[in-house]
Amino acid sequence: MKKIIRTADAPAAIGPYSQAVEAGNTLYISGQIPIDPATGKLVEGDITLQTARVLKNISAILSAAGFSFNDVVKSTCLLSDIADFKAMNEVYGQYYTENQPARAAFAVKALPMGALIEIETIAVKNK
């Protein structure tokens, strides 16, 4: 059985998908781009600011489902420019300080709304 997770503390979906879906003890968070949920607009700024906003959005969704960053087992990071990897990694590392999840990072041609980054997240919790 699946449960749809929604929170006003993260941006609403901009298409036919859910912010997250919980299935059993696993939470699948849709790719998050740096949209400020208060304004519904993309955060302007460099990769550092955009990565921080994405991780705040992920934090809000994790919290709404009763999960935390400690429960994250896999992240997929999509970058509009692979040259931003180092700066993204520095911000990302502030959220995952120990027992880091598995991760993949890719450069892509373009992201929705002109974002510099998108991160998809999977978390698992013993309930």
**Can you give the pLDDT at residue 127?**
63
pLDDT tens digits along 83-117:
999 999 999 999 999 889 999 999 999 999 999 99
pLDDT at 13 over 90: no
pLDDT at 9 over 90: yes
**Can you give the pLDDT at residue 126?**
77
CA torsion 103-74-77-117 (nearest 10°) is -140
**Can you give the pLDDT at residue 35?**
97
pLDDT tens digits along 33-79:
999 999 999 999 999 999 999 999 999 999 999 999 999 999 999 99
CATH number of 2-124: 3.30.1330.40
**Can you give the pLDDT at residue 14?**
81
